[in-house]
Amino acid sequence: MLTTLLAAADPVTFQWSPKCAVVMIICNILAYAIARSNIEKPNEGFPIPNSQFFGGLSHGSVVAANCLGHVLGIGSILGLAARGVL
């Protein structure tokens, strides 16, 4: 009986759409801008191939920027979905 109540309390989940991808891309671009301006030594560490494409950031800086971008993205997507924008 408890699982039936929990299943009934589950809100409708958000369906993926191209708008969701656009929000994630924008958040990742914002995260790269934040990373470039705030990381003290962005070139230190393992270099990545074609690093100029990533703004001259090292491997660790790119991973950190992607992590921040995805955290910002999922928060933005869930917030916009809860408000009914997405």
Q: Is 35 domain-assigned?
A: yes
Domain count, the chain: 1
Q: Is 71 domain-assigned?
A: yes
Give the DSSP per-residue string, 17-78: -HHHHHHHHHHHHHHHHHHHHH-S-TT-SSPPTTGGGGTT--HHHHHHHHHHHHHHHHHHHH
Residue pLDDT, tens place only, 3-52: 665 666 556 667 888 999 999 999 999 998 998 888 777 777 777 777 67
Comparing 25 with 85, which gets the higher pLDDT? 25
- The whole domain housing 58 covers 19-83
pLDDT at position 58 is 79
Q: Is 10 domain-assigned?
A: no
pLDDT at position 70 is 95
